[in-house]
Amino acid sequence: MSANRSSSPFDDLITGFDKALRVVGGVASSSRPNPGAHANDYELSDDERRHSAGLMRVNHVGEVCAQALYDAQARFGKSETIRAQFKKSAREEEDHLAWTAERLSELGSQPSLLNPLWYAGSYVLGSIAAKLGDPKSLGFVVETERQVEAHLNEHLEQLPPQDARSRAIVEQMRVDEIAHGASAQALGAAEMPAPVRMVMQAMSKVMTTTAYHI
């Protein structure tokens, strides 16, 4: 059998299913050191610990969604350049997935119990965006990253000042999200219509509010 044989749709299905299981099962590895690894681990009160855990659980859910979105958009993207960019961004987002999972464990908490639902819903959205064509798919990324950046800015304001480890992680996530949005914009992203942006914001609000608690 040729080593260069292209993958079949069935191969792609199995690969995608395997990735989904790993993401929702909490199996993620980082290619970069955890930004919070060397930050001072100051003592947090019980309330502060619960609040930090809630915020980091929201961030972890965001990364679960990012994996699903980028996987779908890479799978159904029209050009190889676009697909390659989505795969690169997904790999960097997997770092975030691993970092937030590690921080949740340190805080004595756990990821959202609804991660399978978040992943499935995001994969559907990513598939729809990709089917609309590369410019709109890229535009979806730009708007998503813009909203994620706003959430991360809020979390930096809300995290306890002494929670240096969580803050270091969120700071690096923010830098990466801005870069992903800029890359998508440079590749020819189309502006999302205002009604679409409003729907995305409403869906994001439901997700963040729910994930903070569950």
CB 163 within 8 A of CB 108: no
SS (H, E, C) 119-186: HHHHHHHHHHHHHCCHHHHHHHHHHHHHHHHHHHHHHHHHCCCCCHHHHHHHHHHHHHHHHHHHHHHH
Q: Residues annotated in the binding site for Fe cation, as ranges? A: 63, 93, 96, 145, 177, 180
CB 203 within 8 A of CB 115: no
Q: Give 82's contacts (C-beta < 8 A, 6+ positions apart).
A: 73, 134, 137, 138, 187
Amino acid at residue number 159:
L
Q: Residues annotated in the binding site, as ranges? A: 63, 93, 96, 145, 177, 180
CB 99 within 8 A of CB 44: no
